[in-house]
C-alpha cells in the first residue's frame, strides 16, 4: 500500500510539474509580450510628449512674434500720424497762401480736425492694443482640439498601462501561489513517505481479547488505528482494575480534587461499565433537579461527593468516588463516561452536557413527529422530505443577510405556493425543491459565511469536513 501511495503521489507531482512547466512557459511568453507592449506604449508616450513640447515651443515663438509685431505696428502708427499732421499743416499753409482765407478760421478748423484725428487715433490704438496679439479663433480652436485629443490619448494609454501592470502583478502572484502549493504537496509527500509505517495486523488481538474473534469483530468495527489502541488499553486496564481490591488515597492536599481527598486505602467496588453509566445518569438527574430548585448551577465535583455521601454515608463515599473515577478515567471510548470525566476534571464546561441533551431531545422530537405511523422506525426517503420552515431556516443559515422579500420569493418558487398557502403545503423531496430553485437566478445576497476546514489523516485516508 505504501508503494502504491508513493507511486500515486509521485505521478501526481510529475503531472503537477508538467502542468506547471506548460503554465510557466505560457506565462513567460505572456510576460515577454506584455513587456513589448509596455515598451511600445512607453515609446508612443515619449513621442507624444515630444510633440507636446514642440507644440508648446511653437506657440511660444508665435506669441513672441505677435508681441514684436504689435510693438512695431504701434511705432509705425505713431510715425504715420506725425507725418500726416505735418502734411496737413503744410497743405493748410499752402491753401491759406493761395486763397488768402482767414487765418483764425483755418486755425479753428485745423484744431477741430486734430481733435477728431486724436480721438480716432486713440480708438484705433485701443483696438490694436486689445486685439493686435490675439490669435484667430479658428486657429485657437484647432490647437485646443488637438491638445484635447492628445490628452485623451495620453489618459487611455496610461490606463492601459496600469491595467497591464496589474495583470502582470496578478500573474506573478498566481505563479507564486502555484509554486508554494507545489512545494507544499511535495513536502507533504516527503513527510508521508517518512512517517508512514505498515498498518498492524489487528486480527491478532482477537486471540487474546475476552470473547474471542466475535467480540473483537464487534469492537473494531468502524474504528481507526488510534481508536483501536484505546480499545486495547481499555481491555487491558479493565483486567488490571478488576484485580485491584483497594486504591491508595491521594491525601488531603489543596491540589487534590475535593472528591478524592482521603488518606489511607479505599475499597474497590469492582463495578461494571453498565453499573458506572447508570450511576452517572442518576447523578446527572439529581444534579439537574437540585440546580433547578436552588435556581443556580452548582459545581459537579462538589455535588459528586455530596451525592455519594448522602447515598452511601461518609465512611463509604470515597470507596465509590475512587471506583467511579478510575473507571471513567479508563473508559475513554464511552461517551457518557468520557464526558463526565472531562467535566469533573474541569477540561470541559458543564454546559456542553446540557446542550447535547437538548440536541438529542430536539432530534428525538423531530424523529417522533416524522413517524406518523408510530412504527418506531423511519425510512431513508422520510429523511428526504423538506418543509417550508426547514427551507426557510436553511436560507437564513446560509445567507443571514437575505431580505424578507427575496426569501418569500425563493420559498414561493420552491413550493409553487403563495405565502398564505404555506401552512397547507405538504413536504416535497429535496431533489424537486432543488430543481425548481435552479430554474431561477437564486443567489446569495450577503457575504458568504466563514468556512472552517478540519482534516484528519491516517493510513493514506484523508477526511475533510466543511461546516457553516
Domain boundaries, the chain: 2-193, 212-370, 381-467
**Residue 73 to residue 60: CA distance in whole angstroms:** 20
pLDDT band at 282 (very low <50, low <70, confident <90, very high): very high
The residues facing 465 across adjacent strands are 454
What tens digit of pLDDT does each residue of 178-200 get? 888 888 888 888 887 666 666 67
Q: Is 100 left (phi over 0), alpha (psi -120 to 50) or beta?
A: left
173 to 35, 125, 178: CA distances (angstroms): 17, 70, 9
What tens digit of pLDDT does each residue of 360-383 get? 888 788 778 777 777 777 777 666
Strands 265-267 and 385-386: unpaired
446, 399 Cβ separation under 8 angstroms: yes
CB within 8 Å of 457: residues ≥ 6 apart: 463
What pLDDT shows up at residue 279?
92
Rounded (5°) CA angle 184-187-191: 135
Q: Which three cell numbers stand for residue 384?
A: 428526504
For helices 212-220 and 225-243, angle between their N-to-C axes, nearest 10 degrees: 130
**Residue 227 to residue 225: CA distance in whole angstroms:** 5
**Residue 331 to residue 276: CA distance in whole angstroms:** 10
The residues facing 246 across adjacent strands are 267
Q: What torsion do the CA atoms of 10, 11, 12, 18 make, to the nearest 10 degrees? A: 110
398, 446 Cβ separation under 8 angstroms: no
Q: Which among 123, 383, 346 has a CA at the least distance from the CA of 255?
A: 346
Q: What is the mean pLDDT of residues 2-30?
A: 87
Q: Which among 222, 247, 217, 219 has a CA at the least distance from the CA of 231?
A: 219
What pLDDT shows up at residue 466?
29
CB within 8 Å of 359: residues ≥ 6 apart: none
Give the 3-state DSSP-derived string for the chain, with helices as H, strands as E and coil as C: CHHHHHHHHHHHHHHHHHHHHHHHHHHHHHHHHHHHHHHHHHHHHHHHHHHHHHHHHHHHHHHHHHHHHHHHHHHHHHHHHHHHHHHHHHHHHHHHHHHCCCHHHHHHHHHHHHHHHHHHHHHHHHHHHHHCCCCCHHHHHHHHHHHHHHHHHHHHHHHHHHHHHHHHHHHHHHHHHHHHHHHHHHHHHHHHHHHCCCCCCHHHHHHCCCCHHHHHHHHHCCCCHHHHHHHHHHHHHHHHHHHCCEEECCECCCCCCHHHCECCEEECCCCCHHHHHHHHHHHHHHHHHHHHHHCCCCCHHHHHHHHHHHHHCHHHHHHHHHHHHHHHHHCCCCHHHHHHHHHHCCCCCCHHHHHHHHHHHHHHHHHHHHCCCCCCCCCCHHHHEECHHHHHHHHHHHCCCCCHHHHHHHHHHHHCCCHHHHHHCCCEEHHHHHHHHHCCCCCCCCCCCCCEEEEEEECCEEEEEEEC
Name the percent of the chain lying above pLDDT 70: 90
What is the overall mean pLDDT for the chain?
A: 81
The residues facing 385 across adjacent strands are 429
What pLDDT shows up at residue 15?
87
What pLDDT shows up at residue 196?
61
**Residue 430 to residue 427: CA distance in whole angstroms:** 9
What tens digit of pLDDT does each residue of 141-157 get? 888 889 888 989 999 99
467, 450 Cβ separation under 8 angstroms: no
- Least-confidence region, from 161-165, 199-203, 335-339: 199-203
pLDDT band at 454 (very low <50, low <70, confident <90, very high): very low
Q: What is the mean pLDDT of residues 114-121?
A: 87
321, 271 Cβ separation under 8 angstroms: no
Q: Which among 219, 327, 349, 330 has a CA at the least distance from the CA of 279?
A: 327
pLDDT band at 296 (very low <50, low <70, confident <90, very high): confident
What pLDDT shows up at residue 356?
84
Amino acid at each position: 500500500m505504501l508503494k502504491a501511495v508513493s507511486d500515486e503521489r509521485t505521478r501526481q507531482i510529475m503531472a503537477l510539474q508538467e502542468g506547471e512547466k506548460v503554465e510557466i512557459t505560457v506565462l513567460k511568453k505572456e510576460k515577454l509580450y506584455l513587456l513589448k507592449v509596455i515598451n511600445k506604449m512607453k515609446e508612443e508616450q515619449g513621442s507624444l510628449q515630444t510633440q507636446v513640447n514642440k507644440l508648446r515651443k511653437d506657440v511660444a515663438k508665435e506669441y513672441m512674434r505677435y508681441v514684436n509685431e504689435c510693438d512695431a505696428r504701434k511705432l509705425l502708427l505713431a510715425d504715420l500720424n506725425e507725418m500726416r499732421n505735418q502734411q496737413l499743416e503744410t497743405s493748410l499753409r499752402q491753401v491759406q497762401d493761395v486763397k488768402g482765407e482767414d487765418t483764425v478760421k483755418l486755425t479753428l478748423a485745423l484744431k477741430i480736425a486734430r481733435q477728431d484725428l486724436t480721438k480716432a487715433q486713440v480708438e484705433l490704438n485701443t483696438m490694436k492694443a486689445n486685439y493686435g496679439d490675439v490669435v484667430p479663433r479658428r486657429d485657437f480652436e484647432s490647437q485646443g482640439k488637438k491638445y484635447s485629443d492628445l490628452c485623451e490619448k495620453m489618459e487611455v494609454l496610461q490606463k492601459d498601462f496600469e491595467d497591464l501592470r496589474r495583470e502582470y502583478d496578478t500573474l506573478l502572484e498566481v505563479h507564486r501561489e502555484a509554486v508554494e502549493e507545489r512545494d507544499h504537496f511535495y513536502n507533504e509527500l516527503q513527510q508521508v513517505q517518512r512517517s508512514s509505517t505498515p498498518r498492524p495486523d489487528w486480527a491478532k488481538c482477537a486471540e487474546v481479547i475476552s470473547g474471542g474473534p466475535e467480540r473483537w469483530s464487534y469492537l473494531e468495527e468502524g474504528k481507526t488505528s488510534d481508536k483501536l489502541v484505546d480499545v486495547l488499553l481499555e481491555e487491558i486496564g479493565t483486567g488490571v482494575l478488576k484485580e485491584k481490591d483497594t486504591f491508595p488515597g491521594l491525601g488531603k492536599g489543596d491540589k487534590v480534587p475535593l472528591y478524592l481527598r482521603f488518606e489511607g486505602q479505599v475499597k474497590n467496588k469492582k463495578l461494571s461499565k453498565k453499573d458506572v453509566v447508570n450511576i452517572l445518569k442518576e447523578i446527572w438527574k439529581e444534579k439537574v433537579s437540585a440546580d433547578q430548585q436552588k435556581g443556580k448551577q452548582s459545581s459537579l465535583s462538589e455535588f459528586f461527593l455530596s451525592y455519594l455521601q448522602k447515598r452511601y454515608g461518609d465512611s463509604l463515599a470515597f470507596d465509590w468516588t475512587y471506583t467511579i473515577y478510575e473507571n471513567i478515567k479508563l473508559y475513554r471510548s464511552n461517551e457518557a463516561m468520557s464526558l463526565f470525566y472531562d467535566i469533573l476534571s474541569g477540561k470541559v464546561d458543564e454546559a456542553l452536557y446540557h446542550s447535547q441533551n437538548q440536541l438529542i431531545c430536539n432530534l428525538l422530537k423531530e424523529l417522533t413527529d416524522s413517524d406518523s405511523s408510530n412504527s418506531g422506525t423511519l425510512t431513508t426517503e422520510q429523511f428526504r422530505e423538506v418543509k417550508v420552515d426547514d427551507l426557510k431556516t436553511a436560507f437564513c443559515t446560509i445567507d443571514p443577510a437575505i431580505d424578507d422579500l427575496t426569501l418569500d420569493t425563493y420559498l414561493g418558487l420552491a413550493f409553487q405556493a403563495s405565502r398564505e398557502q404555506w401552512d397547507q403545503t405538504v413536504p416535497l423531496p429535496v431533489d424537486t425543491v432543488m430543481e425548481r430553485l435552479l430554474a431561477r437566478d437564486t443567489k446569495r445576497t450577503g457575504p458568504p459565511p466563514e468556512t472552517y476546514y478540519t482534516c484528519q489523516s491516517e493510513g493514506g485516508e484523508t477526511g475533510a469536513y466543511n461546516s457553516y
